[in-house]
Amino acid sequence: MILMRVKLILVIISLLLLTGCMTENPPQIIGGPNRFMDVLPRLVDDEEYEPIPIPFTVLYRVAMAERAMYEPTDGTYLGMWLRDGLEKRPFESSVGKKHAVYVEEMRLGEEVPVMWLLQCIAALATPLFIIHPPEVLGRVIGTDVDVPVENKIIYLAQRLGAFNLPMFVAFYPTNHGLTAAEYTLLFRYARSMFMAYAPMVSFVWVAPSHQSTSSNPFFPGHDAVDWVAVQLMAERDGEGFSIDIIEDLEPFYMAFQARHPIMLLPVGVSHWSRADFIFRINEAGDEITHVYDTIRLAFPRVRMIVYGDGFGIGSQDDFSITSDPELREIYSRVINHEHFLSTIERDASTSPRWVRSVFNGYYFDGKVYVDVQTIERELLITTPGNIFEIDGRSFVEISYIEERAIHIDPVHQVIFINILN
């Protein structure tokens, strides 16, 4: 019975928001009570009503945080991993928005795909190279000379550096067959050679899984990495998606957000699987919308999303959005938001940045609360007002946080605290 009332309350909130109680960019609430939240108890005229705490994500803004190479001040780059044979400009015309980054795979020792690179330049897009180990150990394609892998790395760095353009390189992402010690040593060597011969290349470490942290033995060290990346592909079976992309992203995000910008390389949602041979376009479209919207609102240091359009073609699952007009239209609507960026920012600088708190806030009985640990450990300010306990933890109601700019997105359950105001 209580759950039914809670669902009714949430429906009423949604209806109020849709009818104009909240805009997409909600006004700031500086100190003082949140008037919108205050109306909720008045909607409930039931002596048996028992409020329950509803968790909210908390984001706070920090001053003059250092940015990694090509990390944008705000927003998320759009990236695409197209199927072979698909060209960039017709694709962008079909979705109505330019993409900042495109992906190409190659093996160490192969010649740089110059024609593909020139297409990127013509489309004003930034290339992202996935560098896999050589297929034939110690051989440079097109020559009769066996050379060490280290020399191949130097050769590749020199070739890419000669273009004198911004690029991303994800070095040896998976299935490299190396031990942790071998891998980290080679990664760090590659990073140093690229710094010498291709200083405009931003280096990307692709994590073995979403559970990876900086203590993972394959992590080459913060000083050797510009960006960190993780692959999140939601396959399908008769029961639903194989993973919850947002749920799997969260621990990886929290492990790295303080030190590095994060990219999804790639992300994908299956709309058809050989598990049951059923097309599920609407479900895939809803999930794509959910993933991009949630990242936009609640994961501020996910700075690049590369969609894996070329994944699953001819295999178990089909992740492609270009193969289905309806999915393409859904994707087009999702990326149309100004948060999603079409051009790489080249200037290196420091700037304010939104950070996702380790601790949840809560909406409870008509008021919004922030964890005391968020205030003392993350915002570094004195705990104001009275302490309120929820599930054994200490919280402060936001109206007591004086002279701090706060606004709330109740639809997506996010609390924003701008401590720079």
Instruction: Please give the pLDDT value at position 402.
Output: 60
Q: Which phi and psi angles does 150 have, rounded to 5°?
A: -60, -40
Residue indicated by tokens 């690029």:
167
Instruction: Please give the pLDDT value at position 48.
Output: 62
Instruction: Please give the pLDDT value at position 100.
Output: 98
Q: Which of 26, 4, 1 is nearest to 407 (CA)?
A: 26
β-bridge mates for residue 131, sequence order: 106, 171
Instruction: Please give the pLDDT value at position 31.
Output: 28
Q: Which of 266, 238, 260, 234 is nearest to 247 (CA)?
A: 234
- Domains with residue ranges and CATH for the chain: 2-65+353-418 (no CATH), 72-348 (3.20.20.80)
Residue indicated by tokens 């909240």:
22
Distance, CA of 122 to chain centre: 27
- Taking a C-beta distance cutoff of 8 angstroms, is the pair 143, 182 a contact? no
Exposure of 119 by Cβ count < 10 A (0-12 exposed, 13-18 middle, 19+ buried)? middle
Instruction: Please give the pLDDT value at position 188.
Output: 98
pLDDT tens string, the chain, 421 residues long: the values are 444 444 444 443 443 333 333 333 333 322 223 323 333 343 445 556 677 889 999 999 988 788 999 999 999 999 999 987 778 888 999 999 999 999 999 999 999 999 999 999 999 999 999 999 997 544 444 444 578 899 999 999 999 999 999 999 999 998 888 999 999 999 999 999 999 999 999 999 999 999 999 999 999 999 999 999 999 999 987 788 999 999 999 999 999 999 999 999 999 999 988 888 888 999 999 999 999 999 999 999 999 999 999 775 556 889 999 989 999 999 999 999 999 999 999 987 778 889 999 999 999 888 899 999 999 999 888 887 788 888 889 999 887 776 567 888 988 899 999 877 5
Q: CA 79, CA 92: separation in Å to the nearest integer?
A: 11
Q: CA 149, CA 137: separation in Å to the nearest integer?
A: 8
